[in-house]
Structure formats: structure tokens, C-alpha cells
């Protein structure tokens, strides 16, 4: 990839007496730094070597040919990435693999490589890997390793004639504990490649069902992030770097936007974009095109759906998730083949003559499931028809409970409702008889003395659902069971953790644990997994699991809680993150002096948000009894937050007022 160079113009005053250019000294430390650029080592290796393989195919005139990956497994614990491109000559391989920042691809935008670092990426994980090059009838195997002085080295191990086609094969040993991580990395790295690699040694599910797509973009409602794709490599788009009018579509639509090689600039690790002005402009221009195309695609799908259900689901999604698109359908009457579907859930209710119930897992309250007279139109909603005389509702609820992690919802109709929906345009194949659901075993009262718990078996209680005060009981065998990391004592007065408090550095009480929900969020803040690591136990049984290594949760959390500055907490509670980001990236912000109170305050907001980290999870529980005094003139606060219905106007007014303070 061609790297855009910038010209620097220097103005000098007086005569330069002497000068010296900066240099880099090769050393073990220097190479270790260059080999440790990556935050995700497995992903970096498969991405960099995969891109090199793809570049080799492009250079050899076969851009659509897949390269090959061998996934590490228990019998063959190595990762192999093999291409069938140009191969590398003996003369060139030493230059390519032993010279950092040397690349043969910096003068072309047909290939992804540019910095000469990707071929060395295996060194971030291992200190030894092999390179096999087949070039013009000769097969050579090389070892790349750190020598006794800790310097990266490459040496020829063997050479023989071959009739195999040209190409390069990289093989890296992988620890058994990391095999799953490398398999996932392969999916992450190549899921948006036009030509997927062939796979051996394991399998990768390349299922790629998007909701909408255009000529250079796709939308996945399952994604919680939008991405730019350049040369097959995926880069997350920072929501706050783009124009504010694109904020919603980037955040909600799960966009994957393709860019030509060279249209964007990336960090040396190839893990993120470099947000130069021209890169930001390129992103904004493409997103503007996507939005125009997106509206047309969604509206066409609604109007041209093969059946009424698909049309209603598309409209429901448009109304609820993509209302920011300013679609003409949202404000007007929506028709599908002469049937009005402007309010799809209401239309379904009327068609069924109120003989419909929708069931799903409840996300709040004490009950584990909820019932509604309006159909669910989510993508994971199932449709059942009641074909048995009694027990359909019990079977449905049991089915939902057994699939609690899948967030499945069930729309249950009677035969009359099903016939009406099919007649209106629903596909008959969507309806499943409730008789296919597992029957519920009848419960009979027990008689006799009952069961007594065997010796050595005690009850532990897991957190279960956060919105229920009760805990779920489970049997625990003291002789064979693995004790939980932490425990809470249950006694007649309740559980001891209610007395726990979160305090700031200066002793202010910020949070008191009063219920199970606040306890769960508190543990998230401390980095503790409640479901896996914490159990409640009776006072009498605490001594038993303590002998097995469990420790009181109250003592542990006190040690794990991060010190949080009281003012930082108040900032996160009271100041809009988005407003602070918009202030900082505004063109006037850069003109403020370093001592300007507004500049100091905005930087403080952003730093506090970064430093507080998981504080967001518990901030709704934190007390804010004390009045928070802002440390710059209150007139600027009013301009930003209170002075205008349009907050962007308020931001600019505040910045202009701050500039005047510098000029006084």
C-alpha cells in the first residue's frame, strides 16, 4: 500500500551552527519492541500472514484464488498459512525476513502490505517458526528464531528440487491452551474477505447473513460496532471521530463499509485507523453514500417482501432501530400489496382477533417470563399454533426458560388466528404445533419420611436472576466439589454483604450494597464473575468451604476495588461524554490556550471517563448528595447545556466565549 508522505516546511531564524540526524541502533530491546506492537497476538499473526498470502496471489495474477490455513489441533499443534503465489527467491528471503520496515509493496495500492512488519508478526507469540518457499522448482526451508544474543535470525535448514508450484508456507507452533483463540482469530480476521481461505485441521463457520447490503457496504443488526474494511482487513470505526450527523447509523446499523487500498491510513500494528483529516473526510463521504443507499434498500425490502411477515419485520426494525434515517415510510402510511402495515404489531393483533399471546424472558422484575397481547417481531421470534387441548402455555414457558441464554420469544396463536394470518400473507411454514414442544411432567406430592441429605453434601446458593431476591440452591459435595472462590454468609438476619460500602479516597460513602442487583454490579466493577465465582452459604457451613480455599467476598472486594476520585465520579455522573468529545474535536478548541479553564475542564472530563473504566456499571447506584461545583465560569455551562435547544450551537458559543477569556 502506498504510504502518504507529508512535506514539512521549516522556517529558521539565524544561522544553524550544527545539526545531527536521529538514528536507530539495532539491539535486542529494539527488536522486542517492534515484535510486540499487537494487543491481540493470535489475531495479529493470522491477519498479517493471511494478508501476505493474499498479496502474493495478487502479485501472481490470481487474486480470487484462496490461500490455505491449517488450524492447530491436539494431534497437529501448529498453525500453517500457505499461499500459491510467487514464492520467494533465496536472495530475497533474507532481505524480507531480516529487515524491519523493508517492504516490496509500498509503491502499489493493489496490495495491503506497506511497513515490512507483518512477516515478523509470529515473533510476538513464539521465538521460533519455519518458512518454506517454493520458487522456480526449488523448495527451501528456513528457520526464523531469536539467537543466543536475543536477535532475530533466519537460516537455511534444507534445500531440494521440487515439481510443486510456487508459494510460501509459514508454520508456527501453538500451545494447546491457545488453539481455540487461534481458531476464533481466523474467523475474526477473514470473515469479511471476498475470498475465504480453505481450511484443514478444524472448521470455521463462515456464515455471513447480513440484513441489508449495497454495492460497497453491508449491515448486520447483530453487530454492536461498525467497521471499515480495506484490503479485507477489518478496522473498527471510532464513533466520536466522524461527523455527529453520522453518529446514530454508525452506532446502531452494524455497518461494514469497504474502502479501496490506500483510501485510509492505519496504525503500524494494523489494529486501528489513523484519523488524519483526509481519513475522517473519506469516512464521512462514504457514510453519507451509505445512508442514501440504506434508506432505499430498507424501503424496497418492505415493499418487495415475498410475504407479509417479512415486510412487517422490516418495517418494525426500521421504526425501532433505524428511525434516524428519515425514511419517507416512517412518517407516511405503509402498504404491502394493498394491506396497511403502518403499525405492524397492532395489525397482527387485529388479524388474530385478539387470540394471540407473546411470551419471552423478562429482563426485569421478579418473574422469569412475560406475557403480552402484541406479537414479537424480533429476528429470534418463533411462531407456534396451539394444537392441543391443554398445556400449551406451560410448554411454551418451559421452552423459553430452557433457552434463557438465547433470548427466544414465542408468539402463540390458536388455529383461527393462524388461518387469518396465512390468508393475509404469512407463510404457512412459519407456524409450529405446540404438540412438538416437550410435555411437562406432572408433579406428585411425596409421601413417607422424605429424603435426607447424605453426609458431606451441603447447600450452596448461586446468584440466579439478578432481579429476584432469592438465590438458587445447588448441592455441593465437600469430598469432590471445587469450592467457589468467594462466599457470602447467609444467616437469620440476611446476608452479611449488605453492610459493605464503597467509599472514595477521602472517605465519602459512595455506595451501599442494599440488594442483589447492586451486589452484581458492584462485583462487575471489581472484576469478579458472580455466576461462576461467588456462592452464598449458611453460617454453619461456611467453615467447610473455607477449608477448601474459599474466602469471604467482603474481604476480597475491598482489595479489588479501584480507587476512584470523587470528582471523577461526579464528572461521569453529570457531564455528557458526547458533548465533551464534540468540544474537543471542534476546530475552535485547538485555538484555546493550555491554561484556558474550559480546555482544562474538557480534558479532565475525557481523562476521568477513561480512568474510571468500569465505573459506568455502578454509577446509577452512586450517591450524589453533594452539589457539584464546576471549575470554570457558570455562563459557559449555561451555553453548553442550557443555552440552546441545539447543543451544537451551545458548544460553539461556549468555545467563542472561552476564546474571549484568552484574549482579555
State the pairing for strand pair 227-230/255-259: parallel
The verdict on residue 148 lying in a domain is yes
CB 301 within 8 A of CB 314: yes
Give dist(CA 348, CA 344) in Å, integer: 6
574 and 554 fall within a common domain: no
Average predicted confidence (pLDDT) for the chain: 77
pLDDT in tens, 469-478: 667 777 777 8
188 and 217 fall within a common domain: no
The whole-model pTM stands at: 0.52
Q: What is the mean pLDDT of residues 447-463?
A: 62
Q: What is the mean pLDDT of residues 547-574?
A: 60
**Integer-rounded Cα radius of gyration of the chain:** 31
Give dist(CA 93, CA 563) in Å, integer: 52
How would residue 370 be classed by pLDDT, with cut points 50, 70 and 90? confident
* For residue 197, pLDDT beyond 90: yes
135 and 216 fall within a common domain: no
The verdict on residue 330 lying in a domain is no
481 and 462 fall within a common domain: yes
pLDDT in tens, 373-403: 889 988 789 999 999 878 888 888 888 877 7
Give dist(CA 229, CA 236) in Å, integer: 9
Identify the weakest region by mean pLDDT among 78-82, 96-100, 114-118, 425-429: 114-118
We report the CATH number of the domain holding residue 158 as 3.30.565.10
* For residue 307, pLDDT beyond 70: yes
Give dist(CA 461, CA 488) in Å, integer: 9
274 and 353 fall within a common domain: no
The residue from 294, 309, 324 where one domain ends is: 309
Which residue has better confidence, 581 or 423? 423
Which residue has better confidence, 429 or 572? 429
126 and 275 fall within a common domain: no
State the pairing for strand pair 369-372/356-361: antiparallel
How would residue 638 be classed by pLDDT, with cut points 50, 70 and 90? very low
State the pairing for strand pair 128-135/138-146: antiparallel
Q: Say what the pLDDT of residue 502 is.
A: 62
Give dist(CA 442, CA 31) in Å, integer: 69
CB 523 within 8 A of CB 530: yes
CB 515 within 8 A of CB 551: no
How would residue 560 be classed by pLDDT, with cut points 50, 70 and 90? very low
pLDDT in tens, 19-50: 666 655 555 566 666 666 778 889 999 998 99
Going across the sheet that includes 68-70, the strands are 152-161, 138-146, 128-135, 167-173, 78-82, 68-70, 198-200
Cα-Cα-Cα-Cα dihedral of 256, 259, 265, 269, to 10°? Answer: 50
Distance of CA 105 to the CA centre of its chain: 31
State the pairing for strand pair 534-538/486-491: parallel
Percent of the chain with pLDDT over 70: 68
483 and 624 fall within a common domain: no
How would residue 189 be classed by pLDDT, with cut points 50, 70 and 90? very high
Beta partners for 143? 130, 155
Domain count within the chain: 5
Identify the weakest region by mean pLDDT among 307-311, 439-443, 512-516: 439-443
Q: Say what the pLDDT of residue 72 is.
A: 93
407 and 465 fall within a common domain: no
Q: Say what the pLDDT of residue 614 is.
A: 47
Q: Say what the pLDDT of residue 322 is.
A: 67
Which residue has better confidence, 647 or 512? 512
pLDDT in tens, 315-326: 887 777 666 666
How many Cβ atoms are within 10 Å of 499's Cβ, its own excluded?
10
Going across the sheet that includes 369-372, the strands are 369-372, 356-361, 409-413, 381-385, 431-433
* For residue 449, pLDDT beyond 90: no
E strands of 193-340, at which residues?
198-200, 212-213, 217-219, 227-230, 233-236, 255-259, 335-336, 339-340
Q: Say what the pLDDT of residue 330 is.
A: 61
* For residue 257, pLDDT beyond 90: yes
The verdict on residue 324 lying in a domain is no
Q: Outline where 378-447 has alpha helix (H).
A: 392-402, 415-424
Identify the weakest region by mean pLDDT among 93-97, 310-314, 378-382, 395-399: 93-97
The verdict on residue 572 lying in a domain is yes
* For residue 6, pLDDT beyond 70: no
Q: Is 209 exposed, middle or buried (0-12, 13-18, 19+ CB in 10 A)?
A: exposed
Using DSSP's 3-state secondary structure scheme, residue 594 falls into coil
525 and 580 fall within a common domain: no
32 and 166 fall within a common domain: yes
The residue from 170, 200, 230 where one domain ends is: 200
CB 550 within 8 A of CB 487: yes
- Most confident segment among 283-297, 420-434, 577-591: 420-434
Contacts of 472 (CB under 8 A, 6+ apart): 461, 462, 463, 464
Whether the CA torsion 87, 89, 93, 96 is positive or negative: it is negative
Tell me which residue of 569, 633, 638 sits closest to 604, measured CA to CA. 569
Q: What are phi and psi of 227, to 5 degrees?
A: -135, 150
Contacts of 319 (CB under 8 A, 6+ apart): 330
Give dist(CA 333, CA 343) in Å, integer: 9
Using DSSP's 3-state secondary structure scheme, residue 358 falls into strand
Q: What is the mean pLDDT of residues 455-465?
A: 76
The verdict on residue 321 lying in a domain is no
How would residue 451 be classed by pLDDT, with cut points 50, 70 and 90? very low
How would residue 169 be classed by pLDDT, with cut points 50, 70 and 90? very high
137 and 216 fall within a common domain: no
Expressed as residue numbers, the domain containing 639 is: 566-663
Give dist(CA 154, CA 521) in Å, integer: 51
Q: What DSSP line would sit under 628-659, residue for residue?
A: ---SS-HHHHIIIIIS-SSHHHHHHHHHHHHH
* For residue 167, pLDDT beyond 50: yes
* For residue 280, pLDDT beyond 50: yes
The verdict on residue 391 lying in a domain is yes
Tell me which residue of 36, 53, 1, 32 sits closest to 189, measured CA to CA. 53
Which residue has better confidence, 574 or 372? 372
The verdict on residue 550 lying in a domain is yes
pLDDT in tens, 490-531: 765 556 555 566 665 566 666 667 677 777 767 766 667 777
Distance of CA 368 to the CA centre of its chain: 27
CB 153 within 8 A of CB 127: no
Q: Say what the pLDDT of residue 564 is.
A: 46
Q: Say what the pLDDT of residue 130 is.
A: 95
Q: What DSSP line would sit under 621-633, residue for residue?
A: GS---S----SS-
The residue from 168, 200, 232 where one domain ends is: 200
How many Cβ atoms are within 10 Å of 127's Cβ, its own excluded?
14
191 and 219 fall within a common domain: no
CB 411 within 8 A of CB 382: yes
Amino acid at each position: 500500500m502506498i504510504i502518504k508522505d507529508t512535506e514539512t516546511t521549516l522556517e529558521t531564524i539565524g544561522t544553524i551552527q550544527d545539526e545531527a540526524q536521529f538514528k536507530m541502533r539495532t539491539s535486542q530491546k529494539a527488536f522486542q519492541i517492534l515484535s510486540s506492537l499487537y494487543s491481540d497476538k493470535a489475531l495479529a499473526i493470522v491477519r498479517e500472514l493471511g494478508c501476505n498470502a493474499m498479496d502474493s496471489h495478487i502479485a501472481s495474477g490470481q487474486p480470487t484464488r484462496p490461500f490455505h490455513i491449517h488450524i492447530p489441533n491436539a494431534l497437529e499443534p501448529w498453525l500453517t498459512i500457505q499461499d500459491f503465489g510467487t514464492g520467494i527467491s533465496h536472495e530475497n528471503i533474507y532481505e524480507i525476513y531480516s529487515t524491519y520496515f523493508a517492504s516490496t509493496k509500498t509503491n502499489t495500492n493493489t496490495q495491503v502490505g506497506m511497513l515490512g512488519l507483518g512477516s515478523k508478526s509470529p515473533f510476538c507469540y513464539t521465538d521460533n517458526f519455519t518458512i518454506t518457499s517454493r520458487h522456480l522448482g526449488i523448495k527451501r526451508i528456513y528457520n526464523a528464531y531469536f539467537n543466543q544474543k536475543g536477535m532475530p535470525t533466519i537460516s537455511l535448514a534444507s534445500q531440494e528440487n521440487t515439481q510443486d508450484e510456487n508459494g510460501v508456507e509459514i508454520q508456527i507452533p501453538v500451545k494447546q491452551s491457545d488453539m481455540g483463540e487461534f481458531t476464533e482469530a481466523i474467523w475474526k480476521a477473514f470473515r469479511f474477505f471476498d475470498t475465504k481461505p480453505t481450511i484443514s485441521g478444524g472448521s470455521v463457520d463462515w456464515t455471513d447473513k447480513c440484513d441489508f447490503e449495497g454495492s460497497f457496504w453491508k449491515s448486520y443488526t447483530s453487530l454492536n460496532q461498525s467497521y471499515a474494511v480495506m484490503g479485507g482487513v477489518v478496522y473498527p470505526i471510532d464513533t466520536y471521530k466522524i461527523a455527529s450527523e453520522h453518529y446514530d447509523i454508525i452506532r446502531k446499523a452494524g455497518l461494514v463499509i469497504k474502502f479501496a487500498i490506500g483510501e485510509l491510513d492505519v496504525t503500524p500494528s494494523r489494529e486501528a485507523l489513523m484519523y488524519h483529516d483526509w481519513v475522517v473526510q473519506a469516512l464521512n463521504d462514504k457514510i453519507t453514500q451509505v445512508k442514501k443507499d440504506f434508506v432505499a434498500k430498507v424501503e424496497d425490502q418492505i415493499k418487495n417482501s415475498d410475504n407479509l411477515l417479512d415486510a412487517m419485520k422490516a418495517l418494525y426494525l426500521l421504526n425501532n432501530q433505524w428511525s434516524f434515517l428519515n425514511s419517507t415510510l416512517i412518517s407516511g402510511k405503509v402498504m404491502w400489496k394493498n394491506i396497511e402495515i403502518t403499525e405492524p404489531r397492532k395489525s397482527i393483533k387485529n388479524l388474530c382477533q385478539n387470540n394471540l399471546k407473546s411470551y419471552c424472558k423478562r429482563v426485569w422484575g421478579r418473574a422469569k417470563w412475560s406475557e403480552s397481547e402484541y406479537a414479537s417481531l424480533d429476528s429470534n421470534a418463533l411462531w407456534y399454533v396451539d394444537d392441543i387441548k391443554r398445556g400449551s402455555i406451560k410448554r411454551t414457558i418451559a421452552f423459553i426458560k430452557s433457552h434463557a441464554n438465547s433470548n427466544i420469544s414465542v408468539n402463540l396463536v390458536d388455529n383461527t388466528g393462524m388461518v387469518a394470518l396465512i390468508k393475509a400473507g404469512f407463510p404457512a411454514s412459519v407456524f409450529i404445533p405446540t404438540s412438538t414442544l416437550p410435555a411437562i411432567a406432572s408433579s406428585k406430592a411425596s409421601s413417607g419420611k422424605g429424603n435426607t441429605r447424605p453426609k458431606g453434601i451441603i447447600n450452596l446458593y448461586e446468584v440466579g436472576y439478578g432481579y429476584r431476591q432469592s438465590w438458587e440452591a445447588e448441592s455441593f459435595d465437600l469430598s469432590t466439589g471445587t469450592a467457589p472462590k468467594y462466599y457470602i454468609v447467609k444467616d437469620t438476619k440476611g446476608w452479611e454483604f449488605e453492610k459493605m460500602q464503597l467509599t472514595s479516597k477521602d472517605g465519602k460513602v459512595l455506595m451501599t450494597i442494599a440488594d442483589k442487583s447492586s451486589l452484581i454490579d458492584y462485583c462487575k466493577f471489581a472484576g469478579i464473575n458472580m455466576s461462576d465465582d461467588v456462592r452464598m452459604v449458611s453460617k454453619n457451613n461456611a467453615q467447610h468451604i473455607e477449608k477448601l480455599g474459599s474466602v469471604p467476598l467482603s474481604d476480597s472486594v475491598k482489595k479489588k476495588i479501584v480507587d476512584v476520585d470523587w470528582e471523577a465520579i461526579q464528572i461521569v455522573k453529570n457531564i455528557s461524554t458526547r458533548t465533551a468529545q464534540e468540544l474537543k474535536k471542534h476546530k475552535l478548541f485547538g485555538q484555546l490556550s493550555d491554561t484556558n479553564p474550559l480546555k482544562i475542564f474538557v480534558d479532565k472530563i475525557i481523562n476521568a471517563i477513561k480512568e474510571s473504566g468500569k465505573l459506568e456499571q455502578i454509577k446509577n447506584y452512586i450517591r450524589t448528595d453533594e452539589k457539584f461545583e464546576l471549575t470554570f465560569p457558570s455562563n459557559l455551562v449555561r451555553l453548553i447545556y442550557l443555552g440552546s435547544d441545539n447543543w451544537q450551537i451551545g458548544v460553539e458559543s461556549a468555545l467563542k466565549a472561552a476564546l474571549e477569556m484568552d484574549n482579555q
